[in-house]
Amino acid sequence: MSSDGSFIIENVSLVLGTNNIYGKTLDEGEESLPSKTIRVLYDNEKLPLAIFEPEDGKKIQGERKLRISGKTEPGARVFINGSQTIVDKDGNFFTEQLLNDGDNNFNIRAEDSATNITEVERSVSFTP
């Protein structure tokens, strides 16, 4: 512990799920009340991310709109080319994107509250 009362504890073992961490001080045999509890979520499972549409390499002609849909874990956030899209309570999501002429690439990224990330790439080709 430093002179200002701050301290660092390293190599704390976590269990899967929610971990409640708090501190106490011990001074001349007297123990303090516990500090405020900090909740740490430990989740090391791969985040599921299924893309229903479009299939990779799809060729589209005429309609400039593309529907991107899929499913991930409930509560996860989904980003398509960096823009967040809405995910329903069951983990389903969809959005429509406008296509440029030629090749269009989409990065679909899901992220959960423990910052586990899964990414899928899709490429479609558009001809007016």
Instruction: Give the model confidence (pLDDT) of 5-51 as tens digits.
Output: 777 888 888 888 888 998 888 888 889 999 999 888 787 788 999 99
Beta strands (DSSP E) in the chain are: 17-21, 26-27, 30-31, 38-42, 49-53, 58-61, 65-72, 77-80, 83-85, 92-98, 102-111, 117-127
CA-to-CA separations, 73 to 18, 40, 48, 70, in angstroms, rounded = 17, 19, 6, 11
The tokens for 45 are 């499972």
Question: Which range, of 13-17, 45-49, 71-75, 101-105, averages the lowest pLDDT?
Answer: 13-17
Which domains are assigned to the chain?
A: 49-127 (2.60.40.10)
How many Å apart are CA 56 and CA 98, to the nearest integer? 17
What's the average model confidence in pLDDT over 107-117?
Answer: 92
